[in-house]
């Protein structure tokens, strides 16, 4: 077995085989052995996969075909998990075999650039959790809730099928190619692969998209905290808690991350419980009862301060807290759904699935459902995490399938659980919570009358139920609590109170959910503002070199102010929008996110083509084409649709005409000022859509040109330029997936016997 | 009985170590390991210096957090 190591170190499918140190065991399992393991189908293995396929099939049948009064939530778990397993075992292996072709004999950046700080070889399971915590946030918790307007089936299909064929493919490929490039960012890869025009368009689009995404995430928080003293108090307390943690880590006990996280978590729970007590007192209710505009301004001021404060004081400690909560919440949600198994009464397709005037978000199922659910199915934002951060930590090339593809499957599962939580509540309650106040009227009586007038099958809600639910969760009202977060919180409280604590704890669970969503979003807002500021500084730096100096305070503050002003303006626009804000802006969030996905996939397409893989280019082209068609159609409708509820400019024209006719109220806008606000907002939203779609089309077009050129070059025999870092032989080994295979275990055992000092070459620096 | 407790304690420790890894609590230990393996001449940073340097570098090199 251990004989002739140099022979085993060669012999591989990968072109230009790389010879690793003959004095060490091989750095990779022999390719023939890997193939043999994959192809060997023992009866037990066949039985296992047949059982998974059968269970998945039955679950899909229960969800999609059987039309009973209710459907049990457990089928969502089975349908998704079985599909993920099959996608991971079969489809991602196809991608690995024909597109990425990882070679474990090559050292990863974490090995050849190792510095003990940014480039550190990290255990694959730890990195899986780390990567997951970086990609998953409030997005997969919010989109599916809003999309539940159309019924459960369209969203479920898109989340599960979309992630297998699109979202996970994007994350995996971006991570792999960034890893082969020393951990370069998506922007840098775009410039290299697509040239100046495509690269610049990608950069501007990324910057704008980040502004929109931060603004709309902030809008979700504002909507969840408006007129909620309990929520404002407990979420507000996260700031002093984080500051305390920061000081603790910097001065008192540096490096005690777990210890401070547990202290922070205990304080956080105290803040939630304390919030309930404070909100019951007269002074508490009056001090922390804030309207949405005040909260929005608070968030804008906070966003600016947080982005210029040193990282150690606020961002780093809150990030620990956020990660800690993220893992806990997801485990808790999964356990609760499996234990409680709520019955879902929402129909597979609701009355709004075939219409384009739904109250929660407007537009037809195609394309708007596919942009409303971005995170969880296909999220372009992940390309920014999958390039840059994670690739610098990967230990072995073959692990990227597990971390990149697998990590995204995990996020998709979070989205499914959020969907289940949202649809396990009463449907009438769902619409009363998610329709704008302009429709519900804002009181329990008007909301109940409006919901019952929709003519939804089986929906007959009483004002008492709305009042009682609000009382149970410790809120003054839950009517028109749009944005998805409050609905998810009610759903979670609904499930959790059957699991732990009964009705008495519903208020706690509701605010627990609001708290973690706010925590995730505030972290994303801080980090997003910072990243965007550096991108802006870098771009301005091309003209005024002084701006490239990160430590130059005036430049840093000015660029922070510009970014905060940009997202703050969109946030205020959403908060004050007479049409309801979230239902007009959320599609823009999804479109922006999916356009970023299209940009990332376009870059990947060019890379794959340049590597000469034309036969399997469809693996990238398929999600790219879908994302491009969906987002461009959605943008087109947002720009050109004559239906005012859908088209920004149609709405703009309708309100402009009403103003010109001297009307003092029009539609849901009850004053001239409100009408003017609609005219202003729709114009901004419309032009943003135009800019996004134009930039994205430029990027996609340059990528298609680069792909065509690669094809011609290959046909003509011209060598194509390769932007990968040069291959360096690896001197370490680790298994690729969660469970090591027999061959991997054997090889790992060989490495165990190598003395530590023989493993790594002295870098001598 | 004590065997069962030991098993639970072990499992809990393993989980805590994993969680710590995910949150980056073991960054200093990994830095020291790298420092030893790379055979640097100069002494490694102290724990306090290391964490200070780590967060200060994030000031000019922020890591994105997704939605």
Task: For residue range B18-55, list pLDDT tens digits in order.
Answer: 999 999 899 999 999 899 888 888 899 999 999 999 98
Length in residues, chain A: 765
Q: Is residue A280 a part of any domain in this protein?
A: no
Distance CA A204, CA A219 (A): 23
- Do residues A393 and A179 touch, judged by C-beta distance below 8 A? no
CB contact under 8 A, B66 and A135: yes
What tokens appear for B18 in the block?
């994993």
What tokens appear for A661 in the block?
């006719």
In angstroms, the Cα distances linking A267 to A138, A234, A237, A505 are 22, 10, 9, 18
- Do residues A603 and A189 touch, judged by C-beta distance below 8 A? yes
According to the model, what pLDDT value does residue A5 have? 40
A618-640 and A168-180 helices cross at what angle (nearest 10)?
120
**Residues of A with CB below 8 A from B65's CB?**
134, 137, 319, 322, 385, 523-524, 526-528
Three-point CA angle A155, A161, A162, nearest 5°: 80
Q: Is the pLDDT of residue A13 over 60?
A: no
According to the model, what pLDDT value does residue A68 have? 84
Complex ipTM value = 0.93
Q: Is residue A690 a part of any domain in this protein?
A: yes
CB contact under 8 A, A258 and B27: no
Query: Average pLDDT for residues A219-240, to the nearest whole number?
Result: 96
Q: Is residue A320 a part of any domain in this protein?
A: yes
According to the model, what pLDDT value does residue B65 have? 79
Closest CA to A125 of A373, A390, A448, A402: A402
According to the model, what pLDDT value does residue A763 have? 46
Question: Given A126, A531, A765, which is nearest B22 (Cβ)?
Answer: A126
Over the stretch A533-573, which tens digit does the pLDDT of each residue have? 999 998 999 899 999 888 888 999 999 999 999 999 999 99
Return the CA Rg of chain B: 17
Q: Which helix (H) or strand (E) holds A613?
A: none
- Do residues A439 and A667 touch, judged by C-beta distance below 8 A? no
Query: Average pLDDT for residues A692-710, to the nearest whole number?
Result: 93
Distance CA A700, CA B4 (A): 59
Q: Facing residues of A729 across strands?
A: A106
Distance CA A74, CA A58 (A): 12
Over the stretch A164-185, which tens digit does the pLDDT of each residue have? 999 999 999 999 999 999 999 9
CB contact under 8 A, A136 and B66: yes
According to the model, what pLDDT value does residue A761 have? 59
CB contact under 8 A, A324 and B19: yes
Closest CA to A242 of A332, A300, A328, A324: A324
Question: Given B21, B22, B51, which is nearest A255 (Cβ)?
Answer: B51
CB contact under 8 A, A311 and B50: no
Number of domains in chain A: 1
pLDDT above 70 as % of chain A: 97
CB contact under 8 A, A134 and B63: yes
| DSSP assignment string, A192-258 | HHHHHHHHHHHHHHHHHHHHHHHHHHHHHHHHHHTT-HHHHHHHHHHHHHHHHHHHIIIIISTT-HH
Q: Is the pLDDT of residue A229 over 70?
A: yes
**DSSP code at position A122:** B
Interchain CB contact of B14 with A (< 8 Å): no
Q: Is residue A28 a part of any domain in this protein?
A: no
Interchain CB contact of A625 with B (< 8 Å): no
According to the model, what pLDDT value does residue A549 have? 86
CB contact under 8 A, B66 and A324: no
Q: Tokens 């068609």 label which residue?
A: A629
Alpha-carbon torsion A407, A411, A413, A417, what sign? Answer: positive
Say how many Å lie between the first and final Cα of chain A, rounded: 36
pLDDT above 90 as % of chain A: 82
Q: How confident is the model at residue A153 (pLDDT cuts 50, 70, 90)?
A: very high
Q: Facing residues of A343 across strands?
A: A72
- Do residues A184 and A362 touch, judged by C-beta distance below 8 A? no
Q: Is the pLDDT of residue A762 over 90?
A: no
Distance CA A179, CA A601 (A): 16
Q: Is residue A477 a part of any domain in this protein?
A: yes
Distance CA B29, CA A275 (A): 39
According to the model, what pLDDT value does residue A11 have? 39
Distance CA A204, CA A545 (A): 19
Distance CA A741, CA A683 (A): 58
According to the model, what pLDDT value does residue A624 have? 97
Distance CA B65, CA A523 (A): 7
Alpha-carbon torsion A535, A540, A542, A546, what sign? Answer: negative
**Residues of B with CB below 8 A from A261's CB?**
23
Closest CA to A610 of A695, A699, A701, A705: A705
Q: Is the pLDDT of residue A755 over 90?
A: no
According to the model, what pLDDT value does residue A8 have? 45
Over the stretch A356-395, which tens digit does the pLDDT of each residue have? 889 999 899 999 999 999 999 999 999 998 998 899 999 9
What tokens appear for A515 in the block?
């708290």
- Do residues A452 and A428 touch, judged by C-beta distance below 8 A? yes
- CATH number of the CATH domain containing A449: 1.20.1730
Cα A641 versus chain centre, distance:
28
Q: How confident is the model at residue A4 (pLDDT cuts 50, 70, 90)?
A: very low
According to the model, what pLDDT value does residue A69 have? 84
Interchain CB contact of B56 with A (< 8 Å): yes
Q: Is residue A32 a part of any domain in this protein?
A: no
Best-predicted range by mean pLDDT (A14-23, A279-288, A580-589): A279-288
Q: How confident is the model at residue A10 (pLDDT cuts 50, 70, 90)?
A: very low
Count of A-B CB contacts under 8 Å? 150
In angstroms, the Cα distances linking A747 to A36, A107, A421 are 16, 17, 45
Query: Average pLDDT for residues A265-282, to the nearest whole number?
Result: 95
What tokens appear for A15 in the block?
């072109």
Closest CA to A401 of A150, A664, A738, A27: A738
| Half-sphere exposure for A483 (CA within 13 Å, toward CB) | 28
Q: Is the pLDDT of residue A638 over 70?
A: yes
Alpha-carbon torsion A234, A236, A238, A243, what sign? Answer: negative
**DSSP code at position A669:** B
The phi, psi pair for A763, rounded to 5°, reads -75, -30
Task: Name the closest residue on chain B to residue A526, using Cα atoms.
Answer: B65
Query: Average pLDDT for residues A244-272, to the nearest whole number?
Result: 95
CB contact under 8 A, A139 and B55: no
SS3 content of chain A, % helix, strand, coil (to 5): 70, 0, 30
CA dihedral of A720, A725, A729, A730, whole degrees rounded to 10: -130
According to the model, what pLDDT value does residue A165 have? 98
User: For all residues of chain A together, what is the average pLDDT?
Assistant: 92
Interchain CB contact of B64 with A (< 8 Å): yes
What tokens appear for B24 in the block?
């980056």
Question: Given B24, B59, B67, which is nearest A217 (Cβ)?
Answer: B67
According to the model, what pLDDT value does residue A17 have? 66
**DSSP code at position A71:** E
Interchain CB contact of B45 with A (< 8 Å): no
According to the model, what pLDDT value does residue A18 have? 83
Q: Is residue A239 a part of any domain in this protein?
A: no
Question: Given B30, B38, B60, which is nearest A550 (Cβ)?
Answer: B60
Best-predicted range by mean pLDDT (A28-32, A297-301, A438-442): A297-301
Query: Average pLDDT for residues A692-707, to the nearest whole number?
Result: 93
Instruction: Give the residue numbers spanning the domain of A460.
Output: 63-73+92-150+163-227+290-765
The phi, psi pair for A122, rounded to 5°, reads -125, 140
């Amino acid at each position: 077995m251990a004989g002739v190591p140099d022979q085993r170190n060669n012999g591989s499918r990968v072109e230009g085989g790389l010879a690793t140190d003959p004095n060490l065991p091989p750095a990779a399992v022999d390719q023939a052995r890997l193939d043999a393991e994959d192809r060997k189908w023992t009866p037990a293995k066949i039985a296992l996969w047949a059982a998974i396929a059968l269970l998945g099939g039955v679950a899909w049948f229960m969800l999609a075909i059987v039309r009973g009064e209710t459907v049990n939530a457990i089928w969502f778990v089975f349908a998704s998990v079985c599909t993920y397993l099959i996608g991971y075992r079969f489809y991602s292996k196809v991608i690995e075999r024909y597109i990425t072709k990882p070679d474990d004999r090559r050292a990863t950046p974490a090995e050849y650039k190792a510095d003990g700080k940014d480039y550190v070889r990290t255990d694959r399971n730890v990195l899986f959790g780390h990567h997951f915590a970086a990609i998953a946030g409030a997005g997969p918790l919010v989109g599916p809730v809003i999309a539940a307007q159309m019924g459960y089936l369209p969203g479920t299909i898109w989340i599960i099928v979309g992630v297998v064929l699109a979202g996970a493919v994007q994350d995996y490929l971006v991570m792999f190619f960034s890893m082969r490039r020393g951990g370069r960012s998506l922007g840098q890869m775009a410039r290299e692969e697509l040239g100046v025009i495509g690269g610049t368009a990608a950069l501007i689009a990324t910057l704008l998209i980040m502004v929109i995404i931060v603004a709309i995430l902030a809008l979700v928080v504002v909507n969840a905290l408006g007129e909620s003293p309990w929520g404002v108090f407990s979420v507000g307390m996260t700031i002093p808690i984080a500051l305390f943690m920061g000081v603790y880590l910097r001065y008192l006990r540096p490096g005690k991350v777990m210890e401070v996280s547990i202290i922070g978590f205990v304080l956080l729970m105290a803040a939630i419980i304390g919030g309930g007590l404070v909100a019951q007192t007269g002074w508490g209710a009056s001090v922390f009862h804030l309207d949405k505009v005040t909260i929005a301004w608070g968030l804008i001021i906070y966003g600016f301060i947080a982005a210029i404060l040193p990282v150690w004081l606020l961002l780093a400690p809150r990030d620990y807290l956020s990660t800690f909560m993220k893992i806990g919440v997801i485990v808790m949600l999964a356990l609760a759904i499996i234990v409680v198994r709520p019955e879902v009464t929402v129909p597979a397709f609701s009355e709004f699935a075939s219409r384009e005037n739904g109250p929660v978000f407007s537009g037809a199922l195609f394309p708007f459902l596919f942009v409303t659910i971005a995170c969880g199915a296909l999220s372009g934002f992940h390309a920014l995490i999958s390039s840059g951060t994670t690739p610098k930590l990967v230990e072995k090339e073959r692990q990227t399938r597990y971390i990149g593809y697998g990590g995204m499957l995990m996020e998709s599962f979070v989205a499914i659980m959020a969907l289940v939580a949202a649809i396990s509540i009463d449907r009438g309650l769902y619409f009363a919570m998610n329709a704008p106040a302009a429709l519900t009227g804002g009181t329990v009586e008007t909301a109940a009358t409006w919901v019952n007038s929709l003519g939804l099958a089986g929906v007959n809600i009483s004002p008492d139920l709305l009042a009682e639910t609000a009382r149970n969760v410790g809120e003054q009202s839950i009517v028109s609590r749009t944005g998805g977060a409050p609905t998810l919180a009610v759903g979670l409280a609904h499930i959790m109170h059957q699991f732990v604590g009964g009705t008495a704890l519903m208020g706690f669970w509701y605010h627990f959910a609001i708290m973690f969503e706010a925590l995730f979003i505030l972290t994303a807002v801080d980090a997003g503002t910072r990243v965007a500021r550096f991108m802006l500084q870098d771009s301005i730096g091309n003209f005024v070199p002084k701006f490239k100096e990160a430590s130059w305070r005036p430049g840093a503050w000015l660029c922070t102010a510009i970014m905060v002003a940009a997202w703050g303006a969109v946030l205020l626009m959403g908060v004050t929008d007479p049409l309801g804000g979230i239902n007009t802006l959320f599609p823009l969030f999804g479109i922006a996110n999916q356009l970023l996905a299209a940009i990332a996939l376009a870059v990947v397409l060019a890379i794959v083509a340049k590597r000469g893989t034309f036969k399997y280019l469809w693996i990238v082209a398929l999600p790219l084409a879908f994302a491009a068609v969906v987002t461009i159609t959605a943008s087109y409708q947002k720009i050109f649709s004559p239906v005012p509820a859908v088209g920004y400019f149609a709405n703009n024209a309708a309100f402009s005409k009403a103003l010109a006719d001297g009307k003092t109220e029009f539609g849901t806008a009850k004053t001239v000022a409100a009408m003017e606000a609609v005219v202003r907002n729709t114009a901004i939203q419309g032009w943003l859509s135009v800019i996004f779609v134009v930039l994205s089309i430029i990027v996609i077009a340059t990528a298609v040109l680069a792909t065509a050129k690669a094809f011609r070059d290959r046909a003509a025999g011209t060598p194509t330029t390769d932007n990968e870092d040069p291959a360096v032989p690896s001197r370490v080994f680790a298994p690729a997936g969660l469970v090591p295979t027999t061959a991997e275990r054997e090889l790992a055992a060989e490495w165990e016997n190598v003395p530590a000092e023989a493993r790594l070459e002295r870098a001598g620096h | 009985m004590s065997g069962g407790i030991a098993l639970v304690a072990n499992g809990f420790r393993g989980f805590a170590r994993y969680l710590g890894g995910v949150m980056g609590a073991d960054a200093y230990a990994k830095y020291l390991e790298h420092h030893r393996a790379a055979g640097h001449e100069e002494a490694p940073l102290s724990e306090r210096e290391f964490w200070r340097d780590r967060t200060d570098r994030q000031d000019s090199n922020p890591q994105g957090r997704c939605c």
